[in-house]
Amino acid sequence: MEKYYQKELETMPREELKKLQSEKLVKQVRHAWDNCPDYRKKMEEAGLTPDDIKGIEDLHKLPFTSKDDLRDNYPFAMLAKPLADCVRIHSTSGTTGKRVIAYYTADDIRMWDECCARSLAAAGATREDMVQVSYGYGLFTGGAGFHGGSHLLGSTTIPMSSGNTDRQLQFMVDLGTTVLCCTPSYAAYLGETIKEKGIKNDIKLKAGIFGAEAWSEEMRRDIQEALGIKAYDIYGLTELSGPGVAYECSAQSGMHVNEDHFIAEIVDPETFEPLPAGSKGELVFTSLDKEAMPIIRYRTKDICVLSDEKCSCGRTFIKMAKPMGRSDDMLIIKGVNVFPSQIETVLLNNGYQANYQIIVDRVKNTDTFDINVELTPDKFTGNLGDISKKEKELVLALKSMLGIMANVHLVPPKSIARSEGKAVRIIDNRKI
Ligand SMILES: [Zn+2]
C-alpha cells in the first residue's frame, strides 16, 4: 500500500491546491517586495507592485531570478528576515568565485525536513526503518536534508556521511540498514563492493533514494539489481532548500513536485515564454513558504518536462521528468558542477591558450574526467620530464578551481580537432 507522510496535502484535489498556491504566492511576493531590495527593484523595473499579483495566473508577469542575482547579493542582500531569526545556513558547491549562501529560519528547516520525510515515506520508509544517510554532511544540503526528514518520520537515522566504504558496509550489515540515501554513483560503487566481498545475503536494504547527479534508467536497473532494492530519484537545489523539492513515488516514473511549497514552470529557454505541461524547456521554480530567502521564478537551467497525468500513487502533485540536460554549458562530473569557463581561466592564468578538450565518460558507474590541453609552441620542448611536471602543475591548479581532480594530458600544438576553427570543447560519452 502506498505510504505518505502528509497524505492530505500530497493528495489534495488540484482545484484546492491551486487556491492554496495563489494565496501563498500573493504573500510570498509581498514578503520579497517588503524585505529584499533586489526583488523590489526588479519588480519596479517591470512596472509591477505586489498588488498586481493576485494569484498564480499572474505568476508569468514576475521577473526571473538567476544564480548570478544570488551571487551578486552575496552574502546578506537576499536575506528577507533578520539574521537573528535564521537558525542555519547551507551553501552551494560553486567554485566560480562567490558561493550562493542559503538561509533558513526554523520554519524553513521544518518545511524542508517535511519534504524529505515525504520522499522517504514514498520510498516505503516508516518509523521501523533504519535510514543510512551517506550523503555528505556540512555546507552541502544532502546530508542535512535526509537527516531531518528521517527524524521527522521517526526512522532510526545513521548519520554516516560520505566515504569510508568499509565502515558504511559494516554498519549496513551489523545494524541491518533498510534505507540508503546517497548519490547514485556511490550507490553503484557500494553495490560493486558488496558483490566483491560476497556479502549480498547479509544486506537487508529494501530501498534507496539517490540524487544530486544525473543517472539513467540503466543505472537504476544496475543499482536495484546489485543492492536488491527499489531505487528512487529525488530533485532539489540549495537555492530552494535542498533535496526534496521533488520526489519519486512507487510508480518510479518521474518526481512529484512539492507543489504546496514550490510552483514549477517550464519556459522556452530562448523566449522565456511559459510552456504547457508536456513541453520540453527550462525548469523554473517559485517558493511559496520560504521566510529567510524567498525565491521568485528561479531559472534552474535544467531542461525538463512536466507531466500532469494522473499518477497511480494517488498523489496529485505534478511530476517532473529527470532533467535531460542544461540550457548552459555546465557539466556535472562526480556530482560537482564544472563550467568550461573555469578551466579556461586556469589555462590562461598558467600561460596556456584556451585550446583544450574535456572528455567525460562513465566507467563502472563512476565518472572519468580527462582534459587534453594543447601546448603553446614556446612550451613545446619535447622534453618528457618537463611535460610531466607541467601536467602535474595544471592538475593542482585545476583541482584548486574545480574541487575535483582531472587527468590532464598535454598534447602538441594544433593537435585537438577544430570545428569552424574552434577546438571541440566537450566530449561527453556518458549515456545518461
Ligand atoms: Zn506518484
pLDDT at 384 over 90: no
Domain residue limits, the chain: 7-327, 333-428
Which residues, 6 or more positions from 165, have their beta carbon under 8 angstroms from its beta carbon? 189, 190, 193
The CATH topology of domain 7-327 is Rossmann fold (3.40.50)
Give the confidence band of 174 by pLDDT, cuts at 50, 70, 90: very high
Helix (H, G, I), strand (E, B) or coil at 141: helix
Distance 247 CA to ligand 1 centre (A): 9
Helix (H, G, I), strand (E, B) or coil at 349: helix
Amino acid identity for residue 265 in this structure: E
Higher pLDDT, residue 328 or 20: 20
Percent of the chain with pLDDT over 90: 73
Give me the long-range contacts of 375-380 (CB less than 8 A, separation at least 24). Answer: 375/410, 375/411, 375/412, 375/413, 376/351, 376/352, 376/413, 377/413, 379/351, 379/352, 379/410, 380/412, 380/413
Find the range with the poorest average confidence among 132-141, 282-291, 349-358. 349-358
Higher pLDDT, residue 334 or 9: 9
**If you average pLDDT over residues 156-183, what whole number do you get?**
96
pLDDT at 179 over 80: yes
Distance 51 CA to ligand 1 centre (A): 36
Distance 240 CA to ligand 1 centre (A): 22
Higher pLDDT, residue 105 or 322: 105
Distance 156 CA to ligand 1 centre (A): 25
Query: In this structure, what DSSP letter does residue 267 have?
Result: E
Distance 224 CA to ligand 1 centre (A): 19
According to the model, what pLDDT value does residue 432 have?
62
According to the model, what pLDDT value does residue 315 have?
98
Distance 311 CA to ligand 1 centre (A): 5
Distance 122 CA to ligand 1 centre (A): 8
Q: Do domains 7-327 and 333-428 have the same CATH topology?
A: no
Distance 272 CA to ligand 1 centre (A): 29
Residues 169, 174: Cα–Cα separation, whole Å: 8
Distance 265 CA to ligand 1 centre (A): 19
Higher pLDDT, residue 349 or 114: 114
Distance 255 CA to ligand 1 centre (A): 8
Distance 270 CA to ligand 1 centre (A): 31
Give the confidence band of 378 by pLDDT, cuts at 50, 70, 90: confident
Query: In this structure, what DSSP letter does residue 311 have?
Result: P
According to the model, what pLDDT value does residue 420 have?
56
Distance 145 CA to ligand 1 centre (A): 21
pLDDT at 354 over 80: no
pLDDT digits (tens, 9 = 90+) for 192-249: 899 999 999 999 999 999 998 778 888 899 899 999 999 999 999 999 999 999 999 9
Residues 190, 320: Cα–Cα separation, whole Å: 28
Query: In this structure, what DSSP letter does residue 241 have?
Result: S
Distance 218 CA to ligand 1 centre (A): 21
Q: Point out which residues pair with 366 in neighbouring strands.
A: 363
According to the model, what pLDDT value does residue 55 have?
98
Distance 290 CA to ligand 1 centre (A): 25
Distance 10 CA to ligand 1 centre (A): 10
Distance 159 CA to ligand 1 centre (A): 28
pLDDT at 312 over 90: yes
Distance 118 CA to ligand 1 centre (A): 12
Kind plus residue range of the DSSP H or E element containing 360:
strand 356-363
CA torsion through residues 220, 226, 232, 238, sign:
negative
Distance 387 CA to ligand 1 centre (A): 55
Residues 298, 84: Cα–Cα separation, whole Å: 26
Higher pLDDT, residue 384 or 126: 126
Distance 315 CA to ligand 1 centre (A): 5
Distance 124 CA to ligand 1 centre (A): 13
Distance 147 CA to ligand 1 centre (A): 23
Homologous superfamily of the 333-428 domain (CATH) = ANL, C-terminal domain (3.30.300.30)
Neighbours of 338 (CB within 10 A): 25
pLDDT digits (tens, 9 = 90+) for 258-291: 999 999 999 998 899 999 999 999 999 999 999 9
Residues 337, 41: Cα–Cα separation, whole Å: 30
Distance 87 CA to ligand 1 centre (A): 33
- pTM of the entire predicted model: 0.84
239 with 295: CB under 8 angstroms? yes
Query: In this structure, what DSSP letter does residue 83 have?
Result: G
According to the model, what pLDDT value does residue 1 have?
86
According to the model, what pLDDT value does residue 249 have?
98
Task: Return the axis-axis angle of helices 340-349 and 384-402, rounded to nearest 10°.
Answer: 130
Percent of the chain with pLDDT over 70: 97
Distance 28 CA to ligand 1 centre (A): 27
Task: State how far the alpha carbon of 187 is from the alpha carbons of 52, 173, 208, 370, 378, in Å.
Answer: 48, 15, 8, 23, 46
Query: In this structure, what DSSP letter does residue 252 have?
Result: -
According to the model, what pLDDT value does residue 328 have?
81
According to the model, what pLDDT value does residue 131 have?
98
Distance 257 CA to ligand 1 centre (A): 10
Give the confidence band of 431 by pLDDT, cuts at 50, 70, 90: confident
According to the model, what pLDDT value does residue 118 have?
98
Residues 270, 277: Cα–Cα separation, whole Å: 18
Distance 24 CA to ligand 1 centre (A): 24
Distance 312 CA to ligand 1 centre (A): 6
Helix (H, G, I), strand (E, B) or coil at 118: helix
pLDDT digits (tens, 9 = 90+) for 387-429: 899 999 999 999 988 889 999 999 988 888 766 555 678 888 9
Helix (H, G, I), strand (E, B) or coil at 103: strand
Distance 235 CA to ligand 1 centre (A): 15
How far, rounded to the nearest angstrom, does the alpha carbon of residue 89 sit from its chain's CA centroid?
17
CA 30-36-40 angle, to 5 degrees, is 65
Say how many Å lie between the first and final Cα of the chain, rounded.
Answer: 31
Give me the long-range contacts of 83-91 (CB less than 8 A, separation at least 24). Answer: 85/291, 85/292, 86/292, 88/144, 89/139, 90/139, 90/140, 90/141, 90/144, 90/238, 90/242, 91/139, 91/238
